[in-house]
Amino acid sequence: MPRERALRVAGAAGRSWARLGGPRVAAAREHLRIAFPAWTERERGVVLERSFANLARCFVELCTLGGLSQQQLRELADVDGLEHFRAVRRADPDAGVICLTAHFGSWELLIAVMAAHGIPIAVIQRPRDNPLLDTLVAELRGANGAEMLPRGNAARAALRGLRDGKVVAMTLDQNASRREGVFVPFFGRPACTRDGPARVALRTGAPVFPVFIERIGETERHRVTVHPALELAPAGSDEKAAVRENTARMTAVIEATIRRAPDQWIWTHRRWKTRPRMEEV
């Protein structure tokens, strides 16, 4: 069916999924209670339905990425703040940049839109259990010029991308294991968060620009915002403390973005799954 119609159908299906209590709905509802304890159940229910509608639209947008031209991609989204990237490139054409983002809005479309605007972007991608699905998603993501970097060697891949002058996109809104993360506040509760982006930023000195895409209402239009570079704590004599502090600062930016438009985040994700031991709180 035509893309615009498919997006309308997907939105309606997502809402119905939420209302009928399909898989992951109960988990999303509980996560909303954790994040917004002062809200009424009705207020959380409104966000829940809109969140599932957004997820369904995101699926359609991912599946149709390969059929969109560079011009069509540029026309799908208003972009604010690209001058921050371009200022870094003017100062040093070979400089690498870290793009901090989240599973917010139509995050798959974000990468394609940036590539369509001539941003040399590389994406840290988590391998999936199903190799066929992994290959398919990689092909869809790379159809518009983005480079895929495996998360299995995330630090090494990110360093290589930065050395090559890429804008390396990293999401930082998912649960991490104790082995690969640190506990920082997220909606007032300790959340184990990957410390790789903070370590890479400290090691390379690459600026970290928060970048998010937000759906405009319930339409197929979007707004991409590139924020100014984050002010990060220097490594100093205690690199471990600096990594934790910078991970907390990065997470705080993501939380602020979600609070502004909570219906655009993936509340199905078990963000607080890894729980801290007493000494880690």
| Alpha-carbon gap, residue 264 to 271, rounded angstroms | 15
Among 221, 208, 69, smallest CA distance to 145 is for: 69
Q: Is 179 exposed, middle or buried (0-12, 13-18, 19+ CB in 10 A)?
A: exposed
Domain count, the chain: 1
Does residue 267 belong to any structural domain of this protein?
yes
Q: How many helices (H) and strands (E) does the chain have?
A: 10, 9
Does residue 230 belong to any structural domain of this protein?
yes
Residue 75: both structure tokens together: 């026309």
Does residue 6 belong to any structural domain of this protein?
no
pLDDT attached to residue 41 = 97
CATH code at position 187: 3.40.1130
| Element housing 163 (H / E) | helix 154-163
- 122: amino acid identity, one letter: A
> What is the sign, positive or negative, of the torsion defined by CA atoms of 165, 166, 172, 174?
negative
CA 147 and chain centroid, separation: 16
**Tens of pLDDT, residues 81-102:** 999 988 998 899 888 999 999 9
Structural domain of 144: 70-280
- How confident is the prediction for the chain on average, in pLDDT? 91
Residue 235: both structure tokens together: 């490594």
Residue 139 — pLDDT band, cuts 50, 70, 90?
A: confident
Residue 127 — pLDDT band, cuts 50, 70, 90?
A: low
Does residue 19 belong to any structural domain of this protein?
no
Does residue 101 belong to any structural domain of this protein?
yes
Does residue 22 belong to any structural domain of this protein?
no
Does residue 43 belong to any structural domain of this protein?
no
Note whether 25 and 266 are within 8 A (CB).
Answer: no
Instruction: Choose the weakest-confidence range: 60-74, 154-168, 226-240, 246-260.
Output: 154-168
Instruction: Choose the weakest-confidence range: 69-73, 146-150, 203-207.
Output: 146-150
Does residue 209 belong to any structural domain of this protein?
yes
CA dist 214 to 49, 69, 138, 226, Å?
17, 21, 22, 12
